[in-house]
Every structure is written in structure tokens, then in C-alpha cells.
Amino acid sequence: MRLSDEELGRLYGEGAGGAAAPAGDCPDPEAMVRWMEAEAGEAEQLRIADHVSSCPQCWREVEALRALRTATGRGRVVRPSWWRSGAGRTVAAAAAVVLLAAGGVGLWLELRPPRFPTGSDALRSSARPLRPLAPPREVNEAPASFRWEPVEGAAAYRFTLRASDLFEVLHREETATPEVRLPDAVAARLQSGATYFWEVRALRKEGEAVRSEVLSFRIR
């Protein structure tokens, strides 16, 4: 029997999935990013390499971060010669499918940074950001309504208001018009000195998002 490097690689990955957890703790996010950027010391780079390549969960994160770096043009993924078909192509194709499904061709075109747009650049670009009309970034009291310019191709909008604390959703609703009136009960919960985040996801008829933006305002 003859096993190619590609087959050995597949077997190794499958074996890691079925084996007991590898020695050592999974690196925390800081350590993982330092490792990806080759910024830890030599011993640490080796230790983390040893762990993440044996750990299915860590390796999945490594692959996700590699794809992210590649999409931004900073990472350079040069596959070894044996990585020609099968897994390699499946991963690359699947990543492209996921990205396209996530945002459509317009957003795919945005995957050509890293050239960070200035505000005016962003407004000129074809996939321009959603334009908020109200409220402004600083307000004196809880805003009564949220409005934005209609987005081309949108059949509905999903509005979400969040507190600055992670996943706490204060209000969410879908609307056919580019405006949401904030219920009094929700407005009463907003406090002075706090910053709140609102997101508008413009949806096609099929529910697919065409634009999605996060905006914020602060109550003085």
C-alpha cells in the first residue's frame, strides 16, 4: 500500500478528530493571533504549533483565520505541491461559496482590501454604506425614530437596537419602509451617557441580506 502525503494528511486530520484531546491548553485568542502573526518567541511558536495541529477545534480556528487573512490580501497561502485536489480545492471552493452566499457579488468585490476607504470613498463606491438619516451620533434624549435612505433591491429591513453589552437586543423588528419608531417602553430604558448600537439589515424578498450596517448614537 502506498500513501501519498495528501492521504497521510487526511488520515492525520481524521485521526486527530477521533483521538483524545492533545496535551496542553488551547491557546487563548491573544496567543492564537500572536502565533498566526509569528510574534511569539520561538519556544512558544513551536509549542502552539504542536497543539493546534493536533487539536481539531484549534485547527478549525487556524483555517478560519488563514482564510480571513487571505481574503484581505495580507496572508499568503501557498499550498504544498501535493495539495492539488480534494481537500484543498474543496476548502477553497467552499470558502468562496460561503463568502458569496454571505454577501453577494457586491460584497465579494469588497474583499479586495486592505485599502481602507475614507468616508467619501465609501460613499462613492458601488457598495456604498447605508445612509442613516436619524438619529445623529449625539442626541439629547432617546430618539423617537430611526430612519435611513432606502437601499436598492431591498424588500424589507430588519432593524436591531442593541445595548453596548454584547448580545442584549433592546428592540428588533422588520419593516417594509426605511423607518422604525421606537416603542416608548424601549425608549424609557435608554440612559444618558450611554452609547447604543443600531443595525439595519436590508433584505431581499428571499430574506437574503443585501446590505447590513452597524451604526451608533450616544445620549448626552
Partner 1 sequence: MVNRPLEGSYLTGDEAPEALLEAWRPMVLAAALRLLPRSGPVEPEDVASQVIIDLLRVLRSEKTISHPSSYIQKMVMHRVLAETRRVRRQQGGGLSIDSQRNVLFEELPDPRAPVPGTGMERRELALKVYETVERLADNRRQVVKLHLRGLSREEIEPLLGFSEAKVRNLLYRGLEDLRELLVKEGIGDATLG
Interacting residues with partner 1 between 137 and 176 (CB under 8 A): 137-138, 147, 149, 160, 162, 164, 166-167
Measured CA to CA, the distance from residue 127 to residue 190 in angstroms comes to 32
Residue 147, all three cell numbers: 430612519
Residue 183, all three cell numbers: 416603542
Measured CA to CA, the distance from residue 217 to residue 139 in angstroms comes to 7
* Residue 146, beta-bridge partner list: 180
Measured CA to CA, the distance from residue 138 to residue 135 in angstroms comes to 8
Question: Within 62-121, which residues bind partner 1 (CB under 8 A)?
Answer: 62-65, 67-69, 71-72, 74, 76-80, 83, 87-88, 90-91, 94-95, 97-99, 102-103, 107-108, 110-111, 113-114, 116-121
The residue written with cell numbers 511569539 in the block is 40
Nearest CB to partner 1, comparing residues 1 and 185: 1
- Give the per-residue contact string, 22-51, with partner 1 (x = CB under 8 A; - = no): -------xx-xx-xxxx---x--xx--xx-
Tell me the closest approach of the beta carbon of residue 144 to partner 1, in angstroms.
11
Nearest CB to partner 1, comparing residues 30 and 184: 30
For partner 1, which residue of 139, 156, 187, 213 counts as binding (CB under 8 A)?
213
Using DSSP bridges, classify how beta strands 156-162 and 169-175 pair: parallel, antiparallel or unpaired.
Answer: antiparallel
Q: Which amino acid is at 75?
A: G
State how far Cα 50 lies from the chain centre: 27
For partner 1, which residue of 131, 187, 189, 219 counts as binding (CB under 8 A)?
131
Tell me the closest approach of the beta carbon of residue 161 to partner 1, in angstroms.
12
Measured CA to CA, the distance from residue 119 to residue 108 in angstroms comes to 20
Tell me the closest approach of the beta carbon of residue 70 to partner 1, in angstroms.
9
For partner 1, which residue of 25, 123, 181, 191 counts as binding (CB under 8 A)?
123
Using DSSP bridges, classify how beta strands 209-219 and 138-139 pair: parallel, antiparallel or unpaired.
Answer: parallel
> Total residues at the site for partner 1 (CB under 8 A)?
103
Tell me the closest approach of the beta carbon of residue 191 to partner 1, in angstroms.
17
